[in-house]
Each structure stands twice: as C-alpha cells, then as structure tokens.
Amino acid sequence: MSSENITPTVSINSGRSSRTNSTNCMDSDSTKDSASDSLNSLIEEKINTNCDNSCLNECIDVNCSLGNQYTVYENDSGKVLKKRRSICCNAAGQTVWGVILIIVSISGFIFTPLDFMLWEKLKMRPGFPPYEWWADPPDEVKMRVHVFNVTNHERFLKGLDKKLNLQEIGPIVYLEKLQHSSIRFNENNTLTYTAKRSLIYLPDENVHDLNSTIILPNIAVLGMASYLHDSNYFVRTAFRLLVNTHGSEFFVKKTLYEYLWDYRDPVLATSRNIVPSIVPVDNMGFFDKSL
C-alpha cells in the first residue's frame, strides 16, 4: 500500500449506500488516536471486501494539527460532496489576523494608556483643572523692582565727577495677578481671550515708601535728544528751544510712585501735541504701559 501527501480529504469509492465519516482534529492525543483508528477500520473493511491496490492508493494517513478540521465523505460516484476547514487553516485569514495583531502591538507602544489619560485630563474645557488654573491662576507671583538714585548729579554736571554715583533703592515688592477674561471657544479648536495683569503693592514687604523721592536722569528729554541727534540743524535747534522754554533739566526729582506709574514732563506733552506720530504717549511711567 502506498501513501501520498495530498489534500487531506479522503474519498472512498464503494458499491454500498453512501455514508459520511467525519474526523475532527483536536489537540489531545486521544482524539488523534480515535481518528486514526476510524480510518484504519475503514481501510480494513475495504481489504475484507477484496478491494484492489488502486483502491488502497486512495487511502491517506491523516496527520491532524491544532485548529484543522477535515470531513471525509463517501458516495457512489467517488466525488467529494463537501469540504470544511476552520478559518485558522485559511492562509488569508492567518495573514489578516497577523496584520491586526501587529498593528495593535505597535499602537500599544506608541499610544500608551497613560497618554490617552493625559490627553483627556489636559483638555482646555470649563470644569477641568487645567482650564480653571489657566483662567484664574491660584499661584502668587511677586514682582521685585530695583531703582537707582543718583547722588552726585550736581558735581557731574559741573564736570567735577566723571562718573555717576548710584544708590540702589529696593526691592519694591508687588503682587502680580494674572487673569484671563472674555474667553471664547472657536470652531477651529482655539481660544480667544483677554489677559489682564494687575499689581498690588505690599507695604509689609517693602522698606521704602512710594512717596520717597529719588534723583534720576530725565528719560523723557534724554530719550528725545537721542532720537533727534542725527536730524537736520533746524530740528535740533527747535528741540533746544523747546527744552529751554519749559526749563527742563537733565536730572529730575521724582517720587517712586511717579517714576513707576506717572512719569510726565512738559517737553513730552508739548512734543506729543506737535508730532503725535513721533511721540505717541505723554506718560513714561515704568508700569503705566506695561500692563
């Protein structure tokens, strides 16, 4: 008797009535032995009925593997009526499942559950902690400002001193509050808002009072002189006349509050009235336009 490795579907010609013998492949050794015994019994039956060698050549030893299911049919015409396989035996099915498992594995490395949790928790939506902290920050931010007082301005103007002597004043401590108002959510996943900063003076943390006076360079006059230094003769002459008319000096005495919030000079006000495009403001307080 010869054996061939062909498709494990066994068709046996017989003159008897049609019968169907099914062999279900399972992982256990007992099931394999049972399937083999059934097939051997069928072969012995053919031998007992004087089946010739050509008939025996059609008999196949079936080696079952996990996940395979074979059905053996016998009929008068010797044709296989039906063949059924598990989806695990299908090459296309195995390829699809393999691709799916690879994609899931790669996604697990790239997008971890922690990433999804962070994306969900960090969304800028009302009621979520990030949004509330951003809209009204609970943390306190303190601003410390240092200013310098000129102690030898008279000697410097007379040419007796070549350098200015500076006295440090500060720090002047403010509590800075930042708030976002007029918040609007746009359709393109952006936010439109207005940022408002406010400074609160902290007297308990300051050594110097805001009414303390200091002597400092006249930044209004010196700033305009620096801007017009390369202008033509007539412009420079007009500027000198303007400074002499108002009696502005190169060093002025100001309070700390005026220097920080309300720094004004008559030359600055007149220049703004004449050429507003060049002098857009009349207050040069350090904090006036920075908030």
105-158 pLDDT tens trace: 776 666 666 666 666 666 777 877 788 888 888 778 899 999 999 999 999 999
82 shares its domain with 169:
no
More confident residue, 251 or 6: 251
27-31, 38-42, 240-244 — most confident range: 240-244
**Interatomic CA distance for residues 98 and 95, integer angstroms:** 5
147 shares its domain with 70:
no
* 114 found inside a domain: no
- Mean pLDDT for the chain? 73
The per-residue pLDDT for 154 is 92
187 shares its domain with 233:
yes
Domain tally for the chain? 2
**Interatomic CA distance for residues 36 and 59, integer angstroms:** 12
* 279 found inside a domain: no
* 121 found inside a domain: no
206 shares its domain with 142:
yes
| Threshold 0.75, pTM exceeds | no
The per-residue pLDDT for 28 is 45
* 282 found inside a domain: no
The per-residue pLDDT for 285 is 86
* 289 found inside a domain: no
149 shares its domain with 203:
yes
Q: Which of 71-75, 129-133, 150-154, 170-174 has the lowest mean pLDDT?
A: 71-75
261 shares its domain with 149:
yes
The per-residue pLDDT for 167 is 94
The per-residue pLDDT for 13 is 42
Tokens encoding 13: 């010609």
User: What's the longest Cα–Cα distance across the chain?
Assistant: 140
254 shares its domain with 134:
yes
The per-residue pLDDT for 80 is 46
Given 67, 92, 117, the domain boundary residue is 92
24 shares its domain with 161:
no
**Position 73 pLDDT exceeds 50:** no
163 shares its domain with 37:
no
* 206 found inside a domain: yes
The answer for residues whose C-beta is within 8 angstroms of residue 277's C-beta and 6 or more apart is none
- The three-state DSSP-derived secondary structure of the chain is CCCCCCCCCCCCCCCCCCEEEEEECCCCHHHHHHHHHHHHHHHHHHHHCCCCHHHHHCCCCCCCCCCCEEEEEECCCCCCCCCCCCHHHCHHHHHHHHHHHHHHHHHHHHCCHHHHHHHHHCCCCCCCHHHHHHHCCCCCEEEEEEEEEECCHHHHHHCCCCCCCEEEEEEEEEEEEEEEEEEEECCCCCEEEEEEEEEEECHHHCCCCCCCEEEEECHHHHHHHHHCCCCCHHHHHHHHHHHHHHCCCCEEEEEHHHHHHCCCCHHHHHHHHHCCCCCCCCCCCCCCCCC
274-288 pLDDT tens trace: 888 888 888 888 887
The per-residue pLDDT for 290 is 55
The per-residue pLDDT for 146 is 93
The per-residue pLDDT for 121 is 67
138 shares its domain with 260:
yes
Q: Give the domain extent around 39.
A: 19-92
* 84 found inside a domain: yes
82 shares its domain with 175:
no
Given 92, 110, 137, the domain boundary residue is 92
* 44 found inside a domain: yes
269 shares its domain with 135:
yes
Q: Which of 30-34, 63-67, 248-252 has the lowest mean pLDDT?
A: 63-67
